[in-house]
Chain A
């Protein structure tokens, strides 16, 4: 392993690698540009490099952008990537308390540690974990989707019934477009642009970006002032101490994140919510969550970066993608003349070790790169509101357009922005809505395809050890709080 680690420190690899991490900062921090899109965009550049340099660029972009997505989420409550939805809760609360820097440095170190653990698991237990992941099919994915969604519905600020409303509405939005099992266009009104459904990127940018702009321009008195007056200072040592105090949270969230990532049907976005929810539900002080809890920052950010390592597990072991990023990675591997899948461990063991080494070192490099990112975005986002909001607006428009070169998506963004503004006013939480739009197809398609498999029977959805476990967990999410309280009270007696 030692030679492999040395071997990646060559200019031919190191230079594009660092460059890609700088890209990652831009992509993650810009609402509308996602990690997947970033990877797709740099792939053509990597064709002219050696395979390991290409892989280093992909790893660099994905890990950095999943972290930097948390920066606008923490500072402005606008998630930079879908995986940062959970960071808008406690991270943003800390910013409001003037502890934004503290939240971000925690976020950064936990991202790096989570990513590190994810890669370690990838190296150590990839084959058995991948075998386990294959057991999941439509029945299990259906419940997993419901599980992630109920976490976000119950845990977002406000009353759970409003969370359920928000999630249900989001699921309804996700049914717009072509039904995958029959190809039937639903609720499109004959509009071709709607056939593929309402894109979750424009929806997310609108719900969080534009609605935030509307909220801010509405308050004329505050316009000339910065929205983040107090920022705090970075102290890595102090941050490290906090992490050491919460080491079990980091560890649990990272393990959970990697396992969720290893499932070919689930990725970093769901991993973050599941980790946040598990942390809150098993916490002794659940009432602190949503009010600037340190654990509420640590859990989702450790999990989403750990999930990235997890997504490489099915990719390397079976040659099947773990998420949309690794799907592109597999295509790139073909371009290099590699054969992704089980044989890669025999035919290109050196490259596999190289990928592991790059993955591990990326986490260490992430810390200085991330700090620079925090500095830059911190500077920009701390400008007076009237300037920041116009910049956010322009990026929201261009970002929505750029996803598939569609003006229609800009209008979708605008519509969701207005809706998001009113929902906020009515205390309807937004994170369940966007997660439901993302997970809606996963939930419905798995339900419907599962029903095709069973010829309409529901038995397979229930009588299966994994399904039963998930159903139990979902019930726990909804009714676990009172039950836990009951047990604790009895214990004290």
Chain B
């Protein structure tokens, strides 16, 4: 058995070395586009991956933050650069939503996909002294007096808003009956919740982890297919009989038409990073959920998200075309 695995390992190594020798990519530095600002969560992940890639492939991977237009500027800059693999882009869920909002012509189809690195499901949270002990009670109350309820979590039409719309719709509650209080992200929404100015927030659980741990915020549900091992007591929506899961995701993509060998080199290097303990430790510390998908699965997932989210955006009145 041991011999077998050793042979396997050597043959893998051989194939890997051979392919590396064959494909000379990368010959020079590879620029990494991050569509979000320096210091934020996506930026931290991008910079971590860039520093690991530098070790893995031996060439510099300088990160460029090209922010603006709800991610439209950075995604477009990445998608419309030369398809030679020397510009890779950290793509996020907004790729699937912004063109429906009429912000850009860019769609998921303008990219070839390398690897999906992460997925964070949405949560449903209320203040610790709120009267609703579980999701059922909350939704009953919402059904009874929807106009009383204020939900928050991010900007209008942002990922956590879409998660909220989908949940309410699947629970049979008219989505426009409750108010969505737009903010610039999860952190200000948490302030609003703690101050008692909104009733419910729907950001990811790790974003509110310290307030949950301190007993100031009560999580009621998670919009995922299975429970999160970091929050084992929080039930999924499916357990409450609501067939809905939603969340944000991040991954690397290259411009459409990039040679397959180049994508392979990038994917293999990144796969090695995602298999490492360092990666798991980094993701754990930052509260990012780990979910790795290869090029084909990631492309399929992005396509799927595009149609799924279109429906939700239509319900929320965000569809522009």
Contacts and interface: CB of A to CB of B under 8 A. Distances in A.
Nearest to A181: B182
B103 A343 contact: no
Contact of B156 (A180, A340, A406): A180
Contacts of B183: 449
Nearest to A138: B197
Among A182, A319, A331, A445, the most chain B Cβ lie within 10 Å of the Cβ of A319
B138 interface: no
B191 A314 contact: yes
Contacts of B190: 318-320
B195 A134 contact: yes
A342 B210 contact: yes
Interface residues of A, number: 51
Interface residues of B, number: 52
A195 B70 contact: yes
A230 interface: no
Contacts of B68: 192-193, 195-196, 404, 406
A449 B211 contact: no
Contacts of A465: none
A236 B139 CA distance: 65
A183 B214 contact: no
B88 to A, nearest CB: 16
A334 B287 contact: yes
B81 interface: no
A193 B181 CA distance: 26
B192 A405 contact: no
Interface in B266-302: 285-287
B136 to A, nearest CB: 26
A339 interface: yes
A319 B182 contact: no
B156 A183 contact: yes
A29 B211 CA distance: 38
A115 interface: no
B118 to A, nearest CB: 14
B285 A136 contact: no
A453 interface: yes
Contact of A328 (B39, B197, B210): B39
Contacts of A196: 67-70, 73
B194 A342 contact: no
Interface string B59-92: 0000011111110110010000000000000000
A321 interface: yes
A318 B195 CA distance: 11
Interface stretch (B1-9, B40-48, B236-244, B251-259): B40-48
Contacts of B286: 331, 334-335
A339 B182 contact: no
Interface of A: 36-37, 39-41, 43-44, 134-138, 178, 180-183, 185, 192-193, 195-196, 264-265, 314, 318-321, 327-328, 330-331, 334-337, 339-344, 404-406, 445, 449, 452-453, 455
22 contacts: A183-B70, A183-B318, A192-B104, A193-B68, A195-B70, A195-B73, A196-B69, A318-B211, A318-B216, A330-B187, A331-B40, A339-B213, A341-B211, A404-B37, A404-B65, A405-B65, A405-B66, A449-B181, A449-B183, A452-B182, A453-B197, A455-B147
Given A318-B216, A335-B44, 10 more contacts: A180-B156, A185-B102, A192-B69, A192-B76, A195-B70, A196-B73, A318-B190, A341-B210, A404-B37, A404-B68
